[in-house]
Amino acid sequence: MGTITVQWIRGDSQTFTADGTLWGLVAASGLDEPNVEVYTQKAAVGDGDLITGRRIGSRTLEFTLKAKQAALGDVLRRAVTSFFVASQTYDIYVSRSGAKRYAADCQLESVEVPTENPYTPATVKLSFLLPEGYFLSADGFGQNIAGIESRCGYPYAALHGSGRIYGLYAYAQTVYLQNDGDAEAYCRAVMTARGTVTNPKLIAGDGYVRVIVTMHTGDVLIIDGKTKAVTINGHNAATLLDKASRFDGIVFATGVNGVGFTADIGSNLLDVFVFFNKRYLGA
């Protein structure tokens, strides 16, 4: 199995870790077992079936932990039963061979803390439902596609008569991002106005999302390709969408993807951060 450490982050931000300090990971299942579902129907003529669809379904993740010290048995048992509760969701981070991925919004299915010899280290068995079916990259790969690309530092010496480039704005251009995960990834763009901006527009793939609004300094527009939601300063802005807007283009296929932005007025007054978590079949 190699060296694997696991950290659970609860919905209220509390954490529990199996890294060999207090708890060690003895066994894990479901990490590399995607639930591939293929749908078929009988062929009307001839042998065989017709493939009508395929998807990745939810899966169960199971972990067996063992305490490192028998003397702390009662304390560790109480810590487990108070941390893993049915009313919370859990992000499960798995670190293996330098790679870190996580399972988002997992639901507790079962927790077992058998009563054993008090002089032996406690054992715990945990089971969770991973609803999305994919593990996500721990890094959201955020990039300001409206940022300034630096070109030189100081002190700077230039020959007489030569030109100088101190920096370059990347606004209203396309940036290419690499998705080397196992499936398409959802784009989330955060646009912050540094002045007056009219009708901002995010462009990705063969689609775009355009919002009919005038933004002012400090306003924040968020376009979420996964939830297909648009908010301005935290408020739903779905009614402000250009009718030709398409969220199906705000998805990054595997490989290289282009993403850009513009606005009718003030595109150079936007900071635009693009985030996406790569999706993997295994941890």
- The per-residue pLDDT for range 210-231, each reduced to its tens digit, is 999 999 999 999 999 999 999 9
Backbone angles phi and psi of 202, in degrees to 5: -105, 130
Alpha-carbon distances of 144 from 12, 238, 264, 275, rounded to whole Å: 29, 24, 20, 9
| Domains in the chain, number | 2
Residue with token string 């995010």: 202
Domain of residue 16: give its range: 4-137
Q: Within this chain, do residues 38 and 89 fall inside the same structural domain, yes or no?
A: yes
CATH number where 36 lies: 2.40.30.200
Q: Within this chain, do residues 128 and 148 fall inside the same structural domain, yes or no?
A: no
Burial 82-116 (b: 16+ CB within 10 A, else e): eebeeeeebbbbbbbeeeebbbeebebeebebeee
pTM (predicted TM-score): 0.80
Q: Which of 80, 102, 137 is the last residue in one of the domains?
A: 137
38: number of Cβ within 10 Å: 10
Report pLDDT for 177.
Answer: 86
Q: Within this chain, do residues 133 and 147 fall inside the same structural domain, yes or no?
A: no
Q: Within this chain, do residues 63 and 158 fall inside the same structural domain, yes or no?
A: no
- The per-residue pLDDT for range 37-79, each reduced to its tens digit, is 999 999 888 899 999 999 999 999 999 999 988 877 788 888 9
- The per-residue pLDDT for range 152-179, each reduced to its tens digit, is 444 444 444 555 544 444 444 678 888 9
Q: Within this chain, do residues 240 and 120 fall inside the same structural domain, yes or no?
A: no
Q: Within this chain, do residues 52 and 124 fall inside the same structural domain, yes or no?
A: yes
